Chain A
Amino acid sequence: MIALWDGLPAETQDIALVVLLILPALIVGRIVLRGYAPWPLIGALLWRFRWANGLFVLLIAVSVGMGIGLLAQERGLRQGTAAAADKFDLVVTAPGSEITMMLAAVFLQPSDVPLLDGATYAAIAGHENVALAAPLGFGDSFGASPIVGTTAEFAIHLSDGRIEGRMWQDYGEAVVGALTPLQIGDGFIPAHGVGDGAEHDAHGGEELHVVGRMGATGTPWDRAILLPIETVWDVHGLANGHAPEHGEQIGPPFDPAYFPGTPVIIVRANELWANYALRSEFITDRTMAFFPGTVLGNLYRVLGDIRQAISLMTLVTQSLVAASVLLGLFILSNLFQRQLALLRALGAPARFVFAILWSYGAVLLVVGAAFGTVLGMIAATVLSRVISARTDILVSAPIGWSEIHYLAGFISLMTLLSLLPALAAFRKSIVAGLRS
């Protein structure tokens, strides 16, 4: 059975799970309603208590929306950050905290990181399995944009070659991310440092020119300004990576003797399998190598506990809301006593009366859950926009299968539970109900 299940395609599993989860509600509904046509009556009763019902639906919708929104958002955030790290197969830095290094290299969070020297870079760049070894130079900025020095190959790799205009060919040229305010042809003067502490006149007045613009990547790199790393070194008065006789060269190979150092080397293997070998090779006493994807994965695992706590909390809120709604239905059923007694006096079977009350509750639940889904989608979209705007990490949080499963489970559970208040129909005798 389990083997059979595991053998199914993921999509089929998801659909099957939805069906399985919603089945109890459908079966109960079928059994309770079989052979009856009570909908006009249910509609009439719903209409009579429309304000109370509206409130119930709203409560359910908000709680369901919160649950779904949080679930979708959390997944969206995970996928967004993972996608942002996609282009960074293997990162080599000086030994230290992987998370700090990853935040600096992948998410461009400024931090003080030690440098790797030219020999180390040369060894990595010259490795037979390395297709791309890009140094990154941080530290300068222009407005809200961090300036990153690197190689043309890396800029092309990062943008998948989608560069409007052209690649830099000379010292004073820059390629900008899709979200920077600079246009092709604009000039700018880099400031030393980033944020409020940036010193604007530290580098003299050398103006750089934008010659290209990368397509959007959905990562913090969309805000960045990329320069030849030689320019960054040069602006800081360092050697520019090349021997004086090759002084005008842009890009690798670099001469170890004139290599000022780089905090990060982004490495791409020529074969997928080689990544693991490279990582173990580059873990030495002077270098650390890690897969950002794995570091993120570890982070998610730690955060997973928090996520579970949040899920539990939303589940508890939701159950509380649902419980109070059921209690409300229970109380409301008192107001129905006379109508329900009348139905029984007219010869309606007990199951019909039960069906009326149950359907009443089920309609509120299903409508509430439907509104909740819409609410959750809106909440997740708004939250995603806010997060994307704040972090430049493209986060999209569409409703996924786990939310649909969650919804189906919620509806089933609650429709089963609303069998309980329906039993309230039989508390009073018919005559007492008629006289009430």
Chain B
Amino acid sequence: MINLNAISLVYQKELKALFKSSLIYIVASLFCIISGWLFYNYLISAQEFTNRTIDQLVIAPLYGNINFLFLVFSPLLTMNSFAEERKNHTLDLLLTSDLTEMDIILGKLLGMMTGVCFLLLLTLIFPITLSLSGHGNWPVILSNYLGIFFCTFCYLSVGVFASSLTENQIVSSLLGFSILMAVLLMAASGGITKNYIVGQIFSYLSTPFHFEALSRGSIRSYDFIYFLSFSGIFIYLTFIKLISRKW
């Protein structure tokens, strides 16, 4: 059912469009400024503590915040994806071709994921700096990257879904952001509720709960099951939205 050839045609188109647009560069510069500033601050404040490690003082909060930045920027990266195809009527072109709805969705998501990897590459400067001064704990750092990668894949699939619902880019990014916020707030509700089981369910459903384990360097298979089912659900919803024109 999945045709790599077809996906790669959409992927290449998306990638070209992404790196031709100014959006990715604006996001990249904002992203660098904010994360650089955070890194610098965590380093400075780390000097005041002597009883804790760099892992706890710099790496964990830094990557936690980078993950949050991706949550904020993802709806911006995806707001164009289907909204623009609708506005320019090019969705008609794709849907009357050999491409299937799934080819289109996956090609777009992978294109966006490549953009995200580009942003992540820029952040490699932080662990490199750390390891030059002898503080690079690479297993934990890599597990953080793994966590951000999978979390962002989830954020992007939400964003792509939001974009498939409307022609309007602003509405699309606000909608994507709201869904992500709701998922994030589930973690908070999980902490508040007195009922243990309900609390556990809420935490399990929220992304931060799963990122947190990875950010400590603990790799548990059920976190990946969560990430894949989370993004799978939103990919499927987008698919339903696209084929619903046939009903």
- Physical interaction between A and B: no
